[in-house]
């Protein structure tokens, strides 16, 4: 029997840890079941080599159309693709890929996406139009679920696929991780206040500052290192540029504590049961902090940071581990839909 060919569209090949981790989990599942997979990627060579899949360039429109023509299904996601906060242009791009697949008579699955916000009226109109024609829609948060239900759609709420990454063996190595990203409004006063707290509580530990996407994170990570060493010239501080998924997973296995901004950095630490302090620049970070009852503060709220930071030292790791067991992504419904789709 001919293999089913699955095309996958998302924010892939941009070296963003969260998106690449989602892709790793998704493609591993699809390949295990014998599907032929082609990923639309900004770096097709790297994606092919790392994951053992076919890949075409994100902006090679002719190659994308050719891929869709020979595919049985387009999987769009995961991540937050259908929103215009990043840019209206990116929303139109992902809608174009979905629309092209639909025009070619292909079934489309929306995979574990966060939908919206979409502020542009035309962007909203096109998104509704495309989603109404999709075979199966899964979303990763309740706000997206409610938004699509208000649009008279029937989405399914699912867990984040990154909960399914395989972790390494955990061992304390007297290290504390700090994961930062650039963000409008992240100011020098907040970084200095954070540095004071980190040095006060973890003076005896090596401080590892993680960039999860160098284009966005590395500059602020280097700045934070300079603040730490200015406050304490004897502090042992290392900036760790973006690594592969496996290298990041291995590195986190040696952390005693983590302070993090990015949602997937918090998620990975919780998967290990690492006591974590979340800095919320987005509501999804606040949500995961509340769900796992870990301390957090909103970005640039120095008073909240001072008040809550010490709670990091008394986080209930057993409670965290217990809750993470409930978070695994269930692939069965998604795969059932794939299996039900006939070859075109």
Domain chopping of the chain, boundaries: 5-160+329-340, 175-324
Tell me, what's the pLDDT at 344? 53
Tell me, what's the pLDDT at 99? 97
Tell me, what's the pLDDT at 86? 82
Sign of CA dihedral 284, 290, 296, 299: positive
Nearest-angstrom CA–CA distance, 119 and 227: 38
For residues 132, 94, 181, 306, the Cα torsion angle rounded to the nearest 10 degrees is -10
Tell me, what's the pLDDT at 2? 67
CA–chain centroid gap for 252, Å, is 16
Query: Which pair of structure tokens corresponds to residue 83?
Result: 């929103």
pLDDT in tens, 267-280: 999 999 999 999 99
Tell me, what's the pLDDT at 172? 82
Nearest-angstrom CA–CA distance, 192 and 138: 40
Q: 5-160+329-340 with 175-324: one CATH topology? A: yes
Sign of CA dihedral 42, 45, 51, 53: positive
5-160+329-340 domain in CATH 3.20.170.30?
no
> pLDDT tens per residue, the chain (344 residues)?
567 999 999 999 999 999 999 999 999 999 999 999 999 999 999 999 999 999 999 999 999 999 999 999 999 998 889 999 888 999 999 999 999 999 999 999 999 999 988 999 999 999 999 999 999 999 988 989 999 999 999 999 999 999 999 999 988 889 999 999 999 889 999 999 999 999 999 989 999 999 999 999 999 999 999 999 999 999 999 999 999 999 999 999 999 999 999 999 999 999 999 999 999 998 889 989 999 999 999 998 999 999 999 999 999 998 998 899 889 999 999 999 998 887 65
Task: Report helix, strand or coil for 49.
Answer: helix
Tell me, what's the pLDDT at 284? 86
Helix 88-103 to helix 61-69 angle, to the nearest 10 degrees?
40
Nearest-angstrom CA–CA distance, 262 and 17: 10
The answer to whether the bond into 44 is cis (omega within 30° of 0) is no
How far lies 315's CA from each of 103, 115, 183, 294, 310, in Å?
Answer: 52, 32, 27, 7, 10
Single pTM value for the model: 0.91
Nearest-angstrom CA–CA distance, 308 and 327: 26
Q: Per the CATH hierarchy, to which homologous superfamily does domain 175-324 belong? A: Glycogen Phosphorylase B; (3.40.50.2000)
Element (DSSP H or E) covering residue 175: strand 175-179
CA–chain centroid gap for 76, Å, is 14
Phi and psi, residue 111, nearest 5°? -110, 110
């Amino acid at each position: 029997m001919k293999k089913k060919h699955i095309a996958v569209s998302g924010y892939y090949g941009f070296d963003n840890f969260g998106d690449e981790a989602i892709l790793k989990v998704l493609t591993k599942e699809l390949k295990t079941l014998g599907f032929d997979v082609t990923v639309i990627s900004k770096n097709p060579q790297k994606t092919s080599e790392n994951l053992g899949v076919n890949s075409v360039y994100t902006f090679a429109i002719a190659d994308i159309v050719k891929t869709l023509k020979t595919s049985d299904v387009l999987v769009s996601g995961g991540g937050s693709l259908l929103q215009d906060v990043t840019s209206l242009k990116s929303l139109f791009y992902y809608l174009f890929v979905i629309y092209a697949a639909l025009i070619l008579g292909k079934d489309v699955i929306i995979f574990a996406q966060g939908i919206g916000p979409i502020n542009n009226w035309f962007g909203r109109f096109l998104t509704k139009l495309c989603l109404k024609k999709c075979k199966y829609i899964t979303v990763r948060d309740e706000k997206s679920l409610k938004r699509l239900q208000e649009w008279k759609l029937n989405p399914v709420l699912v867990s984040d696929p990154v909960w399914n990454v395989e972790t390494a063996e955990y061992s304390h190595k007297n290290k504390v991780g700090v994961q930062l990203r650039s963000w409008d409004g992240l100011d020098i006063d907040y970084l200095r206040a954070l540095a004071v707290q980190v040095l006060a509580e973890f003076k005896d530990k090596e401080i590892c500052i993680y960039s999860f996407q160098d284009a966005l994170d590395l500059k602020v990570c280097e700045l934070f290192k300079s603040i730490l060493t200015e406050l304490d010239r004897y502090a042992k501080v290392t900036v760790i540029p973006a690594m592969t998924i496996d290298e990041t997973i291995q590195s986190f296995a040696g952390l005693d504590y983590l302070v993090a901004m990015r949602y997937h950095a918090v998620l990975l630490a919780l998967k290990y049961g690492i006591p974590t302090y979340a800095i919320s620049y987005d509501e999804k970070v606040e949500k995961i902090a509340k769900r796992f009852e870990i301390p957090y503060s909103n970005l640039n709220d120095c008073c909240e940071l001072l008040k809550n930071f010490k709670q990091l030292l008394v986080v209930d790791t057993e409670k965290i581990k217990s809750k993470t067991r409930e978070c695994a992504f269930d692939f069965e419904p998604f795969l059932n839909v794939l299996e039900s789709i006939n070859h075109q």
